[in-house]
Amino acid sequence: MYLRIKEARYVPRYKVSLKFNDGKRRVVNFAPFLKRATNPMFTQYRILKKFKSFHIENGDLMWGDYEMIFPITDLHRGEV
């Protein structure tokens, strides 16, 4: 079985609650990553409206057209 994200919802202050196809749930805090980021491709997601625009595609959590995406194993561990 491939690990996939089934559900994702915004949690205040740059966090996303994720539900995986193995039943595990995890809240991932993206604030530290965004704060350290220097690349404009990532820093644009400091704007809350843009951050909330994430979606699930083929079981992966992403923003834009693959502008910001993280390894699913890291998200499963709650790390970014």
* 15-70 confidence digits (pLDDT tens): 999 999 999 999 999 999 999 999 999 999 999 999 999 999 999 999 999 999 99
Give the chain's domains with CATH numbers.
5-77 (3.30.2020.10)
Q: Which residues contact 55 (CB under 8 A, 6 or more apart)?
A: 8, 61, 62, 63
**pLDDT attached to residue 1:** 77
Using 50, 70 and 90 to split pLDDT, how confident is the model at 11?
A: very high
Tokens found for residue 43: 């820093």
What phi, psi does 54 have (nearest 5°)?
-65, 160
**pLDDT attached to residue 54:** 98
**pLDDT attached to residue 5:** 98
